[in-house]
Amino acid sequence: MVDESPIRAADGEQGELFPDASLPDELVGYRGTAACQIAGITYRQLDYWARTKLVMPSIRTAHGSGSQRLYSFKDILVLKIVKRLLDTGVSLQNIRVAVEHLRARGVRDLARVTLFSDGTTVYECTSPEEIVDLLQGGQGVFGIAVSGAMQEISGTIHEFPAERADGGEIAPVVPDELTQRRNARRTG
């Protein structure tokens, strides 16, 4: 008998971002222009980060003139985190170290991580006890809740065209009532 009860967060632990089986399909990706809009970066940044191997597309890389990179949900999440770290003054060198650490984690693990930085170093926190220890040093620290960035991306990513790396069909996403109302309000 398999226990199908919902996963509960332990005391002091952030809950699962995708508590059911709705994890993004690993073969569904977004082209560079959509990835830029979702992550809030310029195409020039995206191209530079791909060429310097800071954030490379995990579904399909560019190989020759006219080929299209295809970025996964996790890739776009990492792009958004890199952007936020850059906006707060963290050096690209320190961001590279943080990105290497994030790459080693699965999407479910990322939902439990909060990144903190004093503008120089990037710290990872997975429990309230760690946060307290970090703040006792007396320096000003900011935080980036990775799960918050994931939820932000999840809310907007369906507005952009996606494609499967294997050429298969993507089931259309049925928008919820709130999304339909927002779209109706935007269009007048």
- Domains and their CATH numbers in the chain: 28-170 (1.10.1660.10)
Q: What's the token pair of residue 49?
A: 């980060």
Query: Which segments of the chain have a pLDDT < 70?
Result: 1-25, 66, 105-108, 128-142, 173-175, 188
* Angle between the N-to-C axes of helices 32-39 and 43-51, in degrees from 0 to 180, rounded to the nearest 10: 110
pLDDT of residue 183: 74
CA distance 105 to 181: 36
Residue 18 near residue 107, CB atoms below 8 Å: yes
pLDDT at 26 (0 to 100):
73
pLDDT value at position 108?
Answer: 65
pLDDT tens for 100-138 read 877 776 666 777 777 777 777 777 777 766 664 444 555
pLDDT value of position 175:
66
Print burial letters for 74-105: b (CB count within 10 Å at least 16), e (below 16): bbbbbbbbbbbbeeeebeeeebbebbeebeee
**pLDDT of res. 16:** 42
**Contacts of 112 by beta carbon, 8 Å cutoff, 6+ apart:** 13, 14, 126, 147
| Cβ-proximal residues to 62 (8 Å cutoff; 6+ apart), any chain | 50, 68, 69
